[in-house]
Amino acid sequence: MKIEASYTITAADLERRSIVGRLVPFGVIGNTSAGPTRFAAGSVALPEPLDRVKLLKDHQPDSPLGYLEEAWQDESGLYGRFRVPETPAGDLALLE
């Protein structure tokens, strides 16, 4: 099942060209394209290689801002660090 959801960015680093944030909160009901959804720890499997996961703005898959480089989880959720290439859209995303 493909689920689209929006999450808040935790940190952006213009120098390292990375964006870090929580991708999936655990145990919290969130609104997604599939309706109200709650994820349990360990319930999300990421594809290999990780860079197949795109960082999107406004759910537009044809113009990704970056690609997942690293993912980890703790009791609160699944987190990720995305690499943002040097493009006008990538520069703007890091500044915003």
Q: Please count the other Cβ atoms lying within 10 Å of the Cβ belonging to residue 38.
A: 11
- How many whole angstroms separate alpha carbon 61 and alpha carbon 24? 19
pLDDT bracket for residue 1 (50, 70, 90): low
List 30's β-bridge partners, or say none.
37
d(CA 4, CA 1): 10
pLDDT class for 54, splitting at 50, 70, 90? Answer: very high
Res 95: pLDDT: 87
pLDDT category at 32 given cuts 50, 70, 90 is confident
